[in-house]
Amino acid sequence: MKNRNIFTGLLISISILISLASFEVAARYNLPDFTELVEEHADAVVNISTSKQTEVKRGLPPGMDFPEMPEGSPFGEFFEKFFGEHGGKGGDEFFNSRSLGSGFIISNDGYVVTNHHVVKGADEIIVKLSDRRQLVAEMIGSDPRSDIALLKLEGDDFPSVKLGDSDAVKVGQWVLAIGSPFGFDASVTAGIVSAKGRSLPSENYVPFIQTDVAINPGNSGGPLFDLDGKVVGINSQIYTRSGGFMGLSFAIPIEDAMDVVDQLKTNGYVSRGWLGVYIQEVTRELAESFGMEKPTGALVAKILEDSPAQDTDLQVGDIILNYNNDEVKNSASLPPLVGRTRVGETVKLKIMRNGKTKTVKLEIGQLPDKDQSLVNKVTPEEKVEDSVFGLVLRPLTDEEMESLELENSGLLVLDAQNGVAKNAGIRKGDVIQMINGEPVETVKAFTALMEGLPEGKFISILVQRSHGPEFLAMRIPEKE
């Protein structure tokens, strides 16, 4: 017994030493304690469930007849239940589909912010509070482009969050998420900010905050807190191959979200600024072709008709370096800057053209309800005119120009054989419009331009494709 007491005492002593060591490590590395933050702000985070009535058609597939069953057969009842009497159309049947998400209360009078995709198409939205109350929410407005929705609860004196400054968020700082992953209410996860200003393929107007906070289905729409207990983002998306968390989470910056919220509350819809240009990334090769020291800015690949940019000095091939004194580090950073700008405001663009910088002013227009798009690529008749650098080319016809909505003619690539042009990415069906800023309408002009270019250097080639215009960089081969 005495030995057992000694052993027990030893275990207790070891446990105390481990606890003290853990505390010392936490203190030494300034690891945060989130308990006070959660206790103070968790009540303002809500669970959101939605229901949507979905119509299901009953009846046998076309060409199938209802089988004859003995009178009173249970199989007859089965077929009638699922396929309708005698296998006819069977009528319509409805069932409620449900989804779960998170949200947070931004004001004491019951305004709730969540993601658009959480409440999209819902017939009824139920908000469950931490005190177990379940309230039906009114949809004030929703914006698919930013994935933000604004709801309203009847009543007052609701707990609410404090809003922070997402622009002041720094990479590496601690952040915390509260939400309902997989329906587990008030789940808390923490991590750090991994990056800022992330652009995702499906989102052009949101400069996402990337974190390694564990976010799973059901967390969408929930708040991302800083250590001061202020909301700096709205958890919106994850990158996953498994359907669950893999270390990459994305939150909408609170400044961008609140701009949308204010417009939804005031107008019921969101208007965004619009330049009316197609842009693309400046690669290292393209930067060299434009005489730049490093790749930066947004390259203008097309100017749309009836757009704010059309009546200005902006040109295809210009590189936008600065937007209203904000640096445009890459093409992804420009759309959020433009989207935030109020319609009718005059802005200044610092651009690079032919190796020199200049300033262009224009008045911002309103982004159309539907994005501008180009028509599909035409299939021309096979009429070979000439071959240059492995490219089989011919000029466009007037009908093809009209179909592609092109102001200037170009050269249709009928074939791209092995060589420097194919290596640069030029492929069959492309329409070559410009070489190093010079328009080309004939194969003769194309050949002449190529012959006068410096050997071993990159040049820019503007091509038109089914999805829109794109600049490519091609290295001119050195003569043997």
Polymer length in residues for the chain = 480
Q: From CA 479, how far away is CA 379, in angstroms rounded?
A: 35
CA 125 centroid distance within chain: 25
Coil, strand or helix: which one is 299?
Answer: strand
**Distances in whole angstroms, Cα of residue 461 to Cα of each of 257, 354, 471:** 38, 14, 6
| Kind plus residue range of the DSSP H or E element containing 319 | strand 319-323
Closest C-alpha among 440, 386, 393 to residue 416: 393
The 3-state DSSP composition of the chain as helix, strand, coil percent (nearest 5) reads 25, 35, 40
398 a catalytic residue: no
Coil, strand or helix: which one is 177?
Answer: strand
Closest C-alpha among 207, 347, 330 to residue 276: 347
CA 212 centroid distance within chain: 18
Q: From CA 213, how far away is CA 236, in angstroms rounded?
A: 12
Tokens representing 356 are: 């020199």
226 a catalytic residue: no
Task: List, in order, residues 6 or more apart from 429 with CB less than 8 Å away.
Answer: 377, 412, 413, 465, 466
End-to-end Cα distance, the chain: 95
262 a catalytic residue: no
Tokens representing 232 are: 């700096």
Closest C-alpha among 179, 201, 199 to residue 190: 179
CA 240 centroid distance within chain: 15
| Kind plus residue range of the DSSP H or E element containing 10 | helix 2-28
Tokens representing 387 are: 């071959």
Q: From CA 189, how far away is CA 200, in angstroms rounded?
A: 23
Q: Are 264 and 141 in contact (CB under 8 A)?
A: yes
Task: List, in order, residues 6 or more apart from 5 with CB less than 8 Å away.
Answer: none
Annotated active-site residue in 220, 249, 289, 333: 220
Residue bearing tokens 């295809």: 316
Q: From CA 128, how far away is CA 149, in angstroms rounded?
A: 17
Annotated active-site residue in 142, 143, 147, 166: 147
CA-angle at 426, arms to 425 and 432, nearest 5°:
140
Coil, strand or helix: which one is 138?
Answer: strand
Annotated active-site residue in 107, 117, 212, 403: 117
195, β-bridge pairs: 210
Tokens representing 41 are: 């702000």
Residues labelled as active-site residues: 117, 147, 220
